[in-house]
């Protein structure tokens, strides 16, 4: 199964990609996670991209495309396909991989803009395993999966979120038309409860198993 998850920051792409990856046993590839892991490890890539993430700006296309294409050559993707979460994010990225990578479907997670800011400023992530939570539904102070500490992502501060939303509108939203013209776009209502959004996506993707 070869799928792209499209949608604004906070739409729930990561939340759903984790669940769908488990459901269909397909690798979840998040360019944001790859960048954050490299920043945490202070690798050359991490040092190169840190200032972009801190400001809510996109990492340059050439860097991102190279990282993504190289990840897709690994055995798990070759054998089982991929769920791309956060890539492509510009027309240049989509055009650069068009014809190089196959796609069965693009899942567009649609959420009204006014819901996104509170979702992002209230998001907490586990420092150890990366699991995602929201303050409104948190049961305790530690990760429910591994007991690790919960932290706020640096780019989830309000000013940075507003910048990310602007970047999304200007650079990423045009991809909806790009993929609709190819007959690949499936839009789901991402304002529904997490389980309901998951069911809607499973219903679309089960045809591609
Ligand atoms: P990335 O990590 O991809 O961030 P993003 O696209 O901004 O997406 P988010 O992770 O913020 O949101 P999400 O849709 O995954 O929401 P989530 O499931 O967590 O990118 C970060 C940065 O990396 C970029 O700014 C850029 O600098 C760089 N980058 C990455 N890819 C790049 C690329 N291709 N090119 C260039 N630069 C790139 O959910 C959010 C919150 O809502 C959580 O608290 C969750 O619990 C809650 N929630 C989820 N679903 C629901 C629901 N149905 N109802 C209620 N609450 C919900
Ligand atoms: Zn954890």
pLDDT digits (tens, 9 = 90+) for 3-30: 999 999 999 999 999 999 999 999 999 9
Report residue 126 as tokens.
Answer: 């586990």
Mutate to test the pocket of ligand 1, among 63, 64, 86, 168 (most ligand atoms within 8 A of CB): 86
Query: What is the structure's pLDDT at 74?
Result: 97
Kindly list the protein residues whose Cβ atom lies closer than 6 A to any atom of ligand 1. Answer: 7, 9-15, 30-32, 35, 52-53, 56-59, 64, 86-89, 93, 119-120, 123, 132-134, 155, 164, 190, 193-194, 197
pLDDT digits (tens, 9 = 90+) for 145-180: 999 999 999 999 999 999 999 999 999 999 999 999
> Are 176 and 6 within 8 A, CB to CB?
yes
Distance CA 35, CA 153 (A): 13
> Can you name the residues that pair with 149 across neighbouring β-strands?
142
Q: Which residues does 64 contact at the CB level (< 8 Å), separation at least 6?
A: 31, 58, 87, 89, 93
Helices 31-40 & 61-72 angle (0-180, nearest 10): 100
> Are 75 and 64 within 8 A, CB to CB?
no
pLDDT at 202 over 90: yes
The residue whose C-alpha atom lies closest to atom 49 belonging to ligand 1 is 12
pLDDT digits (tens, 9 = 90+) for 182-193: 999 999 999 999
Q: What is the mean pLDDT of the chain?
A: 96
Query: What is the structure's pLDDT at 135?
Result: 96
> Are 129 and 18 within 8 A, CB to CB?
no
- The predicted complex's ipTM stands at 0.97
Q: Which residues does 84 contact at the CB level (< 8 Å), separation at least 6?
A: 3, 4, 5, 29, 31, 68
User: Does 153 qualify as catalytic in the annotation?
Assistant: yes
Report residue 13 as tokens.
Answer: 């792409």
Query: What is the structure's pLDDT at 209?
Result: 82
Q: 3-class DSSP state for residue 11? A: coil
pLDDT digits (tens, 9 = 90+) for 49-63: 999 999 999 999 999
């Amino acid at each position: 199964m070869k799928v792209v998850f499209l949608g604004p920051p906070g739409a729930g792409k990561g939340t759903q990609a984790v669940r769908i990856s488990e459901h269909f046993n397909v690798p979840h590839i998040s360019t944001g996670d790859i960048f954050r892991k490299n920043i945490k490890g202070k690798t050359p890539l991490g040092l190169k991209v840190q200032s972009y993430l801190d400001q809510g700006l996109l990492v340059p296309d050439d860097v991102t495309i190279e990282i993504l294409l190289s990840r897709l050559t690994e055995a798990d993707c070759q054998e089982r396909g991929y769920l791309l979460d956060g890539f492509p994010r510009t027309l240049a990225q989509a055009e650069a991989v068009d014809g190089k990578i196959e796609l069965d479907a693009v899942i567009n997670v649609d959420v009204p803009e006014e819901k996104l800011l509170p979702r992002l400023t209230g998001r907490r992530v586990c420092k150890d395993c990366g699991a995602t939570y929201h303050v409104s539904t948190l049961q305790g102070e530690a990760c429910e999966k591994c007991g690790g500490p919960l932290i706020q992502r640096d780019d989830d501060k309000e000013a940075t979120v507003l910048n990310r939303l602007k970047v999304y509108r200007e650079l990423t939203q045009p991809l909806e038309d790009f993929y609709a013209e190819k007959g690949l776009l499936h839009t789901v209502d991402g304002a529904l409860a997490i389980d309901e959004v998951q069911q809607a996506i499973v219903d679309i993707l089960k045809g591609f198993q």
